[in-house]
Amino acid sequence: MQDQWGAVHYPKAEPAMGWVGLSEITYHDGFFYIVERDNQLDQRAVTKKVYRVPASDMKPAPLGGDLPVVTKQEVRDLIGDLTATGGYVLDKVEGLAVTPEGDIWISTDNDGVDDHSGETMFFSIGKADN
């Protein structure tokens, strides 16, 4: 399949309301780490999670046909982390980085707009457990 686009099917959560999307994909030590989130905040937030997929599962098929479904493993539900400071759940978990030592860091995005609280979170969820 060299020199052509291919893809796999990543099964996203069904949204309670709004939509669910992927906001970050990062590779570390044989796994792709993925932020899957809904677009809801405060008590309406349901899906703010980090998953991982083994790189060995990423066997793309040509676009336009059936795509192989990858198996995702939940690494962390971030709702508890997002409420740990006593505030409401922010909607935009959009950054994930893994250090060479395996520490996973998460960030939110406040869009920098005038009608937003301006709150942004940056925190570690511990080591990537391979």
CB 89 within 8 A of CB 33: no
Helices (H), 9-110: 79-83
* pTM of this prediction exceeds 0.85: yes
Higher pLDDT, 61 or 4: 61
Residue-range domain boundaries for the chain: 6-127
Q: How confident is the model at residue 2 (pLDDT cuts 50, 70, 90)?
A: low
What's the pLDDT tens digit per position in 77-102? 999 999 998 988 888 999 999 999 99
CB 22 within 8 A of CB 34: yes
Is the pLDDT at 115 greater than 80, yes or no? Answer: no
